[in-house]
Amino acid sequence: MTMLNVAHVDKTFNTGTPLESHVLRSVNMSLHKGDYATIIGGNGAGKSTLMNIVAGTHLPDSGTITIDGHNVTKLPEFKRAAYLGRVFQDPMVGTAASMNIEENLALAYRRGKRRGFRWYISSKERDLYRERLSDLELGLESRLTDKVGLLSGGQRQALALIMATLQEPRVLLLDEHTAALDPKTAPKVLEIGNKIIKKYNLTTMMVTHNMKDAIRHGNRLIMMKAGQIVLDISGGEKKNLTVEHLIARFNQVSDEDFDDDAALLV
Amino acid sequence: MELIIQGAISLGLLWSLMTIGVFMTFRILNMPDLSVEGTVILGAATAARLVSNGHNPFMATIMAALVGSIGGFVTGFLHTKLKIPPILSGILTMVASYSIVIRIMGTSNIALPPHGPTRVVSVFTFLQEMGLTRQTSIMVFAAIVVILMGAAYYFFCGTEIGSAVRATGNNRQMVAAQGVNTNAMIIMYLMISNGFVALSGALVAQQQGFASVDMGVGTIVVGLASVIIAEVLFNVRRFWARLLTLVAGSIIYRLIITLVLELGMPATDLRLFLAITVVIALTLPLIREKLVKAFEKLKARGGRSR
Ligand SMILES: Nc1ncnc2c1ncn2[C@@H]1O[C@H](COP(=O)(O)OP(=O)(O)OP(=O)(O)O)[C@@H](O)[C@H]1O
Ligand SMILES: [Mg+2]
């Protein structure tokens, strides 16, 4: 069953100005339910733009985006959020620093639901939050009323992962969500994400600059270059993928030498 | 003297609704909203016109708050839909308000004498008729309104929508990703804050017995000064306590003004005094930091010489 379908999507920024850049060029991509696609590509390849187009932060110039059978191409970001969970690269972006942990979670718990003049949280929810937080094994379950601003970057990203998946998303979008973390914390947050993805069988897109992570995780590997998807590796090939094989595959589809891009990837 | 202090307290109470309005945008929404300079006179003018025409003063006051909300809506619309920067959006509403106010009042000021043959019935008249003095009825009525509105705002902030508004002020990107229509939140919240400001203007007009186009000048600075006084003097955490200190800050501000005027400062110097006070209050954290550093240096030097 197709969960996410991106068809013939084009996006140009600053059309008609000297800064004009054609960032996505007729991109086609389809994720099945439970697919976990890692996305790699050099700086400016259009990975984040693709995520933002799926999320509705930007609208495409042409093409269609379908999530779980719903055509969302023209839907504004806040309406599309009902289908999506997102974690951003910057830990500051995914959480509200001046609000406490349970307030952040309560906001996320209401994603896709009508917000009204009911109290912002119920005591039943607190039990759920404690349970979900204890899965992180970071001790956050006993700190529900601590301001999120007091948490470390890694704790904030872990919390953001919980927030993105508290209401099960049709598609989970992770855009370099561990890139801002220190080398010891990054793999932990990645692992936490993997656990959640597996537990709920979430359809996932994860952008990373770490080729080894891209190879090790997920059942699909998508490589972007200059606004196009140049590689889409899945199935057994993905399972047995090695760095050497990936480079060989890239050289097959590209006339340029991989080294230029490889430098940006590893 | 006692009467003067009582007057300052009443005025502080009445203006505290404006202070809460300023706090809402400056502190919660993180969006300095200058339209309050306009909506405060929109409120005063609407109430004055209706009351002087003999309409029910309570209805008049509610209408005044609604007209202020429309001003807030305009600012929010300019900012969110037309993408005009927040400060400019506020200034545009403020400037336009002056013309609207003249249209509402038909003249640049309306007198609302509380006594005499041309006396108008205001919201304070009813308590007076129950036997209270004018001073006391103003104070009692002001306190009731402030408590009711403060409580309403407190509970609003605790609702799902209130929580979404607070998050919008904190991190727009995050709340949008959580499915909140941030533009709608901003517009609605500006309507609430400017409703408070206009209500404040409407009550002050009835208290002082007149409304005029220039009574709004400096409102934003007065509001900010009160907010800062509250934060510097009390520095509390809990939300209801913060709201209470805003009322206190507003009263203290009025007492300070009353005091300097009593000490002989010309009323025309008031705005300069006010601006300087706000500058000092805003730089206080910087000064404090410098002092702490200087102190530590001194201590370090002292330690070495021993
Ligand atoms: N809002 C925007 N306005 C104008 N140009 C943009 C905008 N967003 C992205 N771009 C441009 O689009 C191109 C692709 O950017 P994008 O952020 O999608 O790349 P990326 O693959 O995520 O790169 P990185 O690995 O550096 O994050 C870049 O040239 C960028 O400058
Ligand atoms: Mg990117």
pLDDT tens per residue across span B150-206: 999 999 999 999 999 999 999 999 999 999 999 999 999 999 999 999 999 999 999
pLDDT of residue A70: 96
The tens place of each residue's pLDDT in chain A, 266 residues long, gives 899 999 999 999 999 899 999 999 999 999 999 999 999 999 999 999 999 999 999 999 999 999 999 999 999 999 999 999 999 999 999 999 999 999 999 999 999 999 999 999 999 999 999 999 998 889 999 999 999 999 999 999 999 999 999 999 999 999 999 998 988 889 999 999 999 999 999 999 999 999 899 999 999 999 999 999 999 998 888 888 888 888 888 888 776 655 555 544 54
| Residue of B156, B174, B180, B239 best to disrupt the A interface, most CBs of A under 10 A | B174
Q: Which atom of ligand 1 is nearest to the CA of A14?
A: 4
Q: Are A187 and A167 in contact (CB under 8 A)?
A: no
All residues of chain A having their beta carbon less than 8 Å from the beta carbon of residue B180 are 78, 81, 107, 115
Q: Decide: A22 in ligand 1 pocket, CB within 6 A.
A: no
A256 to chain B, closest Cα gap in Å:
37
Count of CB atoms situated within 10 Å of the CB of A200: 13
| 3-state secondary structure (DSSP) of residue A63 | strand
Count of CB atoms situated within 10 Å of the CB of A183: 7
Sign, Cα dihedral of A207, A208, A214, A216: negative
Distance CA A82, CA B215 (A): 47
Q: Are strands A70-71 and A21-32 parallel, antiparallel or unpaired?
A: unpaired
CA of A46 to the centre of ligand 1 (A): 6
Q: Are A94 and A160 in contact (CB under 8 A)?
A: yes
Q: What is the DSSP letter of B28?
A: I
Q: Are B12 and B253 in contact (CB under 8 A)?
A: yes
CA of A75 to the centre of ligand 1 (A): 22
Distance CA A61, CA A80 (A): 18
The phi and psi torsions of A22 (rounded to 5 degrees) equal -85, 100
Within 110-169 of A, beta carbons closer than 8 Å to B belong to 110-113, 115-120, 163
Burial environment of residue B235 by CB neighbours within 10 A (0 to 12, 13 to 18, 19 or more): exposed
Distance CA A207, CA A204 (A): 10
Distance CA A130, CA A150 (A): 18
CA of A49 to the centre of ligand 1 (A): 6
Q: How many CB pairs under 8 A join A and B?
A: 83
For the record, the structure tokens of A57 come out as: 């932060």
All residues of chain A having their beta carbon less than 8 Å from the beta carbon of residue B178 are 81, 107-108, 110-111, 163
pLDDT of residue B288: 78
pLDDT of residue A255: 66
Which residue positions in chain B have pLDDT lower than 50?
305-306
Residues 6+ apart with CB under 8 A from B186: B29, B31, B76, B79, B80, B168
For the record, the structure tokens of A151 come out as: 């948490």
Q: Which residue of B has its CA nearest to A173?
A: B177
**Alpha-helical runs (H) found in chain B:** 2-23, 36-52, 57-80, 86-105, 125-129, 134-158, 160-170, 172-177, 182-208, 219-234, 239-262, 270-305
CA angle A117, A119, A125 (to 5 degrees): 135
Burial environment of residue B221 by CB neighbours within 10 A (0 to 12, 13 to 18, 19 or more): middle
Q: Decide: A218 in ligand 1 pocket, CB within 6 A.
A: no
Count of CB atoms situated within 10 Å of the CB of A258: 15
Q: Decide: A251 in ligand 1 pocket, CB within 6 A.
A: no
For the record, the structure tokens of B281 come out as: 């209050």
- As a whole number of angstroms, the longest Cα–Cα distance in chain B is 80
HEC string of B87-133 equals: HHHHHHHHHHHHHHHHHHHCCCEEECCCCCCCCCCCCCHHHHHCCCC
- Residue B280's alpha-carbon distances to B36, B37, B257, B268, in angstroms, are 23, 22, 16, 20
Q: Are B40 and B223 in contact (CB under 8 A)?
A: no
Residue A139 region, left (φ>0) first, then alpha (ψ -120 to 50), else beta?
Answer: left
For the record, the structure tokens of B72 come out as: 């807030």
The model's pTM: 0.90
Indicate the angle between helix axes B239-262 and B2-23, nearest 10 degrees: 140
Burial environment of residue A264 by CB neighbours within 10 A (0 to 12, 13 to 18, 19 or more): middle
For the record, the structure tokens of B173 come out as: 């990107």
Q: Is B174 in contact with A77 (Cβ distance < 8 A)? A: no
Distance CA B187, CA B185 (A): 6
Q: Are B188 and B165 in contact (CB under 8 A)?
A: yes
| 3-state secondary structure (DSSP) of residue A64 | strand
Burial environment of residue B216 by CB neighbours within 10 A (0 to 12, 13 to 18, 19 or more): buried
pLDDT of residue B306: 44
